[in-house]
Amino acid sequence: MKQSINWLIEYFSESSIEFIDIFKAKLLPKEKDLNRKTAKDLCGIVIPIRGECSFSVNNQKYNLNNNTVLHCGSRMDIRVETEDVGIEYYVVHYKNISTTEKFENIQEESFYLEIEDRLPLIKYCENIRDKSLSPDNFTKFSCKVEFINLINSLVETVRDVQYNDKLKLVNKGIEYINKNFNEPISVSQISDILDIDRRRFSEVFQEVTGLSPIKYLTEYRLKEAKRLLKFSSYTISEIADMTGYNDCFYFSKTFKKNVGVCPRKYREINTNLVTSLVLKK
């Protein structure tokens, strides 16, 4: 079974996990490793270093290669078989201390993830393996940090694979907004330029960034407005116009709704930052 990036992010964000141990395994061409079980009460992440093999988990066969990571549950039957090339891989064991009801059966499941770049994962595994050999507490702590970095890197590379085309589209939208935020642009205008349906563009943008295009545009404009209020002597009306708001009243209303205070009050609060500036005549 293949898992999506959204499922993966939700699982790790909703779970309390703890690194247990790591080991490296190697099989030569035409070699088999049969009749083994995964660790009891633990989850295992199988990360390929080089080569490929057939990796069966409870009779579910996976092709482990440079673009695949496996996740196994507790006490599962495994069979590893190579063909013309061998395989070398890391197994990282961790304990799921607590999670939500949705993921309570995680130790009874196996799944695979498609990855784009395994090299950062291998580097983190090497660091974890080296640190895990040392008994002092600081190194143990560092090992836990590296484990979290490994999980973060895993999520990122899975995200890159699944969101590749979407990321390109969203990045084009973001680039356009960043360059033209001071103009009266709209989502329809952006989607027309990118040659995509407006609703579809909004859905993809929200999926990738967590924000709607309008929310991103508003936050970008207000970020620039706050900078100008702090470090310039432009009037409120001028700042509204410079950040894409033709209506000063609407600008002030939007600013207060999102920042908590009106533009004039925001400037007063940050007076200490602008007192040394030359007032505009």
Query: Which pLDDT value is given to residue 224?
Result: 98
Determine the topology of domain 215-274 in CATH. Answer: Arc Repressor Mutant, subunit A (1.10.10)
Sheet harboring 60-64: ordered strands across? Answer: 32-37, 77-81, 53-57, 60-64
| CA pair distance 221, 223, nearest whole angstrom | 5
Rounded to two decimals, the pTM is 0.63
Return d(Cα 65, Cα 130) in angstroms, integer. Answer: 24
Nearest 10 degrees: CA dihedral of 183, 187, 191, 194? 40
- The Cα–Cα gap between 5 and 200 comes to 19
Q: Give 10-residue mean pLDDT values along the chain (281 residues).
A: 87 96 97 94 97 96 96 97 97 97 94 93 96 89 95 93 85 96 95 94 91 96 96 95 96 97 94 52 42
The pLDDT value given to residue 273? 52
The contacts of residue 190 (CB under 8 Å, 6+ apart) are 173, 176, 177, 201, 213
Yes or no: domain 5-118+154-161 corresponds to CATH 3.20.20.100: no
- pLDDT of amino acid 272: 57
